[in-house]
Amino acid sequence: MTPPSFAAKHSPVMPTSTSLNFSSLGERAQPPTIAKLMTMALENPELLSIAAGFTDTSNLPVEAVEQAVAKLASRPGQPEYLQYGSNPGRPELRRMLAEHLALQEPALDQAEIQRGAFITNGSQQALYLAVQVLCDPGDIILVDRPSYFVFLEMLRGLGVEAVSIPTDANGLVDGEAMSDMLVDLKISGRAQRVKAVYFVSYFSNPSGRSLTAAEKSGIAESLTAADLVIPVIEDAAYRDLYYSEPWPAPSVLSIPSWEQFPKLYTSTLTKPFATGLKVGFATCTDVEWRAKMLNVKAHHDFGTANFNQALFEQVLSDGGFRDQLRRIRPAYEAKMRALDGALRQEGLSDLGWKWDQPAGGLYLWLTAPVGLDTGLDSEFCQACVEAGVLYVPGELCYGDDAPIDTIRLSFGVLNQEQLQEAAKRFGMVAKHFASV
Ligand SMILES: Cc1ncc(COP(=O)(O)O)c(C=O)c1O
């Protein structure tokens, strides 16, 4: 008898395929593109990933966390922070984060923000809860254009259709076109399927753009005129990540044209503090909507990790969050400039590539020269992977009618030297495609 080979002896037990009957959600949900991009980057150290929205590992707040943990551990009494917490999250953390938001929105009453507040496992969970309690398969959510691609994937998983809010040639919300679109939805009998509107309004993922107060008001006015006073979800994940000045537009929470609308405002401590803590913060103006989301949250986890929340409470009261923001804002601006400068040096502008410098956030949003396909299955994308650089194809970031020629580049995780090398590899491919 031949002995089993080393490989056979040591190969992991492979899962076998099954013929289970999955739910319609199980059938619909596809492997997440973000996980695929993250795995490609993590598995291949040679590949420079300007794809996944990781934060800057070298600037993560190790000292602030170390101090907070030591303080928690030396607290007299029982370590309640190692016990289960409550479903809506720690009251003191909710109070502190409501205070933080009230400083950004002077027209708002802190007590009101606090009443609607809850803590989630990253803001991703709040987005999921919001959609899950509002939508059935076949329903519609209006989304910004371009939009956060993980949100769009989630909608597909839930069988919800994304319909883009129209924009003009400069990428600004086009109120008139939006009104026309809403009329069309009404005529086709689909308006009653529109359950919510969603947008990323500060230093957006993917475009780096922020919405002006006029654009936000315009959306509310078009909806009101169409008799669609539907829930609004404002995703402010990058609001704290401005480089020198906060974006001046208030959120929908304090813009008068949104007054009648049920509003959910989501933000996070992952991007501006520590992605690994996965703590998000949301506040909802509608009592029933909030209650439904919390009912479903109890099914998910009946409370976000209590320790992570207690840790963040400590960090906030030590001033560690403020210090971290002061540290990372200029660091991200410098990285944005490094990538932007390197792309320009590679001659991309001369080749017809277009992009703007953002005033905050983690992303550059590029439009390729006319006709160049940069999609996930394109030759260009393949050539970039072969050259050792990975980006997010912009086509993933549209609810509908996706153009093929946009790209999202993230400068969050790579250092300046790596960003320059990534730009060099990207530039090499871009030049090659310009010459064929
Ligand atoms: C626009 C936007 N919203 C929400 C999230 C979710 O982030 P988290 O769950 O880490 O708070 C992200 C993460 O990349 C994002 O880019």
Closest atom of ligand 1 to 275 CA is 10
% of the chain with per-residue pLDDT over 70:
94
CA distance 252 to 235: 10
3-state SS, residue 338: helix
The confidence band for 3, taking pLDDT boundaries of 50, 70 and 90, is: very low
Query: Rounded to the nearest whole angstrom, what is the distance from the C-alpha of residue 131 to the centroid of ligand 1?
Result: 15
Tell me if the pTM is above 0.75: yes
Could you tell me if the CB of 130 is within 6 A of ligand 1? no
Q: Which residue has the tokens 């994308």?
A: 381
* Cα–Cα distance, 362 to 151 (Å, whole number): 17
For CATH 3.90.1150.10, list the domain ranges present in the chain.
Answer: 30-59+323-435
Query: Of 214-218, 301-305, 332-336, 368-372, where does mean pLDDT reach its minimum?
Result: 368-372
Chain centroid to CA 160: how far? 18
CATH annotation of 30-59+323-435: 3.90.1150.10
Ligand 1 atom nearest to CA at 271: 10
Q: Which residue CA neighbors atom 2 of ligand 1 most closely? A: 237
Tell me which H or E stretch contains 48.
Answer: strand 48-49
Which amino acid would we find at residue 320? G
Residue nearest to atom 3 of ligand 1 (CA): 237
Mind listing the pLDDT tens digit for each residue in 144-166? 999 999 999 999 999 999 999 99
Specify the amino acid at residue 243.
Answer: Y
Q: What is the pLDDT of residues 369-413, one digit of tens each?
A: 988 999 988 999 989 988 999 999 999 999 999 999 999 999 999
State what percent of residues in the chain have pLDDT above 90.
88
* Ligand 1 atom index nearest CA of 34: 14
**Torsional sign, CA 234, 238, 243, 246:** positive
- Contact 430/381 with Cβ under 8 angstroms? no
Just give the CATH number of 63-318: 3.40.640.10
Q: In the predicted model, what is the mean pLDDT of residues 79-93? A: 97
Both tokens of 36, joined, read: 């695929």
Residues of the chain with CATH 3.40.640.10: 63-318
Closest ligand 1 atom to 125 CA: 9
For range 296-317, the mean pLDDT:
98
Determine if ligand 1 sits within 6 Å of the CB of residue 241. Answer: no
Residue 123 CB less than 6 A away from ligand 1:
yes
CA torsion sign for 369, 375, 380, 386 is positive
Between the CA of 205 and the centroid of ligand 1 the distance, in Å, is 8
